[in-house]
Amino acid sequence: MKKYEGKSVFGGIAIGKVLVYKKGEQQVKRWRVSDVKAEIQRFEDAKMAAVEQLKQLYDKAVREVGEASAAIFEIHQMMLDDLDYIDSIHNMIETQEVNAEYAVAATSDNFAMMFSSMDDDYMKERAADVKDVSERVLAILNGGSKSTVDTDEPVIIVADDLAPSETVQLDKDKVLAFVTVHGSSNSHTAILARTMGIPALIGTPVDLDSVDGKMAVVDGYAGAFIVDPDGDTMTQMEEKKKKDQEKKELLQTLKGKENITLDGKKVMVYANIGNIKDLAMVLQNDAGGIGLFRSEFIYLEHDDYPTEEEQFKIYKAVAETMAGKRVIIRTLDIGADKQAAYFNMDHEENPALGYRAIRICLTREEIFRTQLRAIFRASAYGKISVMYPMIISMDEVKKIKKIAAEVKAELAEQNIAVGEVEQGIMIETPAAVMISESLAKEVDFFSIGTNDLTQYTLAIDRQNPKLEDFYDPHHPAVLNMIRMTVENAHKAGIWAGICGELGADLELTKFFLSIGVDELSVSPGSVLAVRKAILETDVEKEREEQLKKWL
Amino acid sequence: MKEFKYTLTDPEGIHARPAGELVKQAKEFACSITISKDGKSADAKRIFAIMGLAAKQGQEVTVTADGSDEDAAIQAMEEFMKMNL
């Protein structure tokens, strides 16, 4: 038994034989052609077929991973339509009277060399794109599309690296998992690997020659590739795989379905994310949007205040990946249990009731303005909303709106495009609940943060394990607060959602629907389970019983 | 002939995606559109050439349009650059 560690880009367990995939550097022969015109036509036909294939790959990728990640296939199409590239091929065929295959391969080498000699790591990697598109044309010239895997039984593909088109084309029925020696988690390959929904590891230092044909296990959760597993490992992994399978099957049946109750009430089910890395999970689990984007991670991962540009890039990427679905960015919620050294915060006796979240933003406006600028700028690339945490007063909301309006005006003056940005607040203090009727008139939506709301309502520190016996997340005081918030939101004609942990509490789903909650934002892995609960609820029939049971 | 200068603000410079968008935008116009940087110039309708400029954040590029619809082209290109790069 030999165990390798790699970086997982998609979870799951696979057990099977290894097939080492070596790039069939297409052997290209050179020969003389007499009918140059016909040869050019042969190339043109092959190119058109290749563009057609890329269009299909693009559509497939858009459906499965979103527009932003699919864009590479659009760029590949453009590369094939590039006049320099085409001219070079035409020229070679004409002047040297050579076959199309040779002209394509030679041109591909030249362009790839141009990229790999560039003084820029990103551009160096583009050499692989040139080769990838050229190989597609070559495969068509050689008759038929290239089959990447030639096997009868499903296998674990192990390779040095895989081009995006190779990954996306792998026949799902024949591939159990893949493991590559190279590749980065930002590479197109890694992103596209997730479309396949199979376990995948990158950066795994496997000796390719020693593993071909052997039995192996890929554990995409632990990032492990185990070759020749022993009996115990095998039993353990088979058990893990079975559980995983059952979960995935349940989810598959729910994907693509609307979140609609038996009596026809539609609910938004969104996902909470704490890092840009969670985006793949959001798409895989078919969330309708992002209900809580915890922007703190950008601050916590930095050693100094993140710049507008750094933040903008992240927000823009999220907006583009979500391709028009709503993305609610919560502004900085630091303090209490989340600390970054460079904020130089004083020690506090009671940090949960201390200097945190919006309180920092309103006293250190420069931090807040930088973040808002980044958010507003990113709103030109998708449907971005912003929400503000830890609100306790109307005064705060008015101050925030004033700052936001100033930031917007400043951007307009600089001719920087911004989209329509809905502004909402988190309802997570009893104070906000009690004045929610007035607050609702000032904002576009409410999102109830049940974790803090529970801790502040019950006066229980959720970090203290001794208090567990006293802590009741279903306390009627909390549930009444939620009901009151939702009612006041509806009175003012705005929507109200829940983004705390309680939102994913399946025991309460029927109750939340009964009091008219419009949106539930939960961790990506819970989206489909919540959908299932919604599909099984008849609000009108069950309301009375639910209210009686919980309030 | 019309031209403008633009300093790139996108941290990644003209990488593959915006290069693709830029080419798409340039192809909407009949006039010739050229982007140059440090004496190297590239046809804005050719993706390899644009990527070959390896233009990075903070660098200045000059966009030139020459032809019947040069006014509209230069305006559209300037808007595109501000928005995407």
Confidence grade of residue A365 (pLDDT, cut at 50, 70, 90): very high
Contact A71 B20 (CB under 8 A): yes
Q: Is B9 in the active site?
A: no
* pLDDT for the residue A167: 67
Of these ranges, A73-82, A273-282, A531-540, B59-68, the one predicted with the greatest mean pLDDT is A531-540
Which pLDDT score, from 0 to 100, does residue A25 have? 57
Q: CB contact, 8 Å: B28 with chain A?
A: no
Give mean pLDDT, residues A159-178.
Answer: 74
Instruction: Write out the catalytic residue numbers of A.
Output: 188, 499
How far is A376 from A385, CA to CA, in rounded Å? Answer: 9
Q: Is B12 helix (H, G, I), strand (E, B) or coil?
A: coil
Asked if B16 lies within 8 A of A129 by C-beta distance, the reply is: yes
Task: Go through A359-390 and write b for each residue having 16 or more CB atoms within 10 A of its CB, e for each that does not.
Answer: ebbeeeeebbbbbbbbbbbbbbbbbbbbbbbb
- The pLDDT value given to residue A300: 85
> What is the CB-side half-sphere exposure of residue A382 using CA atoms within 13 A?
28
- Whether A384 contacts A378, CB under 8 Å: yes
Cα-flanking dihedrals φ and ψ of residue A299, to 5°?
-80, -40
More confident residue, A347 or A328: A328
Residue A75 has its nearest CB partner, among B17, B45, B49, at B17
Which span out of A416-425, A457-466, A519-528, B45-54 was modeled with the highest average pLDDT?
A416-425
Q: What phi and psi, each to the nearest 5 degrees, are found at residue A15?
A: -130, 125
Could you list the beta-strand ranges (E) of B1-85: 2-7, 32-37, 40-43, 60-66
CB atoms within 10 A of CB A337: 10
**Angle formed by the axes of helices B16-26 and B70-84, to 10°?**
160
User: Each residue of A190-219: pLDDT tens digit?
Assistant: 656 666 667 889 889 998 888 888 999 999
In contact, A127 and A120? CB cutoff 8 Å? no
Residues of A in contact with B19 (CB under 8 A): 75
Mean pLDDT of chain B: 87
Residue whose token pair is 């590949």: A76
Q: Helical H runs in A142-202?
A: 164-169, 188-196
Angstrom distance (rounded) from CA A44 to CA A80: 10
E strand spans, A164-279? 175-180, 200-202, 215-219, 224-227, 268-273
pLDDT value of position A68:
72
pLDDT at A144: 56
pLDDT at A80: 92
Per residue in B57-76, pLDDT tens? Answer: 888 899 999 988 999 899 99
A521 pLDDT above the threshold of 90:
yes
Q: Does A333 touch chain B (CB under 8 A)?
A: no
Q: Rounded to whole angstroms, what are the CA distances from A438 to A44, A46, A175, B37?
A: 67, 66, 57, 56
- The pLDDT of residue A330 is 97
Taken in order of first residue, the domains within chain B and their CATH numbers are 2-84 (3.30.1340.10)
Is the pLDDT at A278 greater than 60, yes or no?
Answer: yes
Contact A126 B51 (CB under 8 A): yes
Picking from B51, B80, B84 by the largest number of A CB atoms within 10 A of its own CB, the best residue to mutate is: B51
Q: What is the pLDDT of residue A63?
A: 78
Q: Quick check: helix, strand or coil at residue A518? A: coil
Cα-flanking dihedrals φ and ψ of residue A475, to 5°? -55, 130
Please give the mean pLDDT across all residues of chain A: 88
pLDDT recorded at residue A189: 60
Q: Which of residues 31-70 of B touch A (CB under 8 A)?
A: 43, 45-49, 51-52, 54, 56
User: How much of chain A, in percent, has pLDDT values that exceed 90?
Assistant: 54
Q: Residue A207's pLDDT is what? A: 87
Closest CB from A82, A114, A309 relative to B47 = A82
pLDDT score recorded for residue A170: 66
pLDDT digits (tens, 9 = 90+) for A433-471: 999 999 999 999 999 999 999 999 999 987 777 887 888
CB contact, 8 Å: A377 with chain B?
A: no
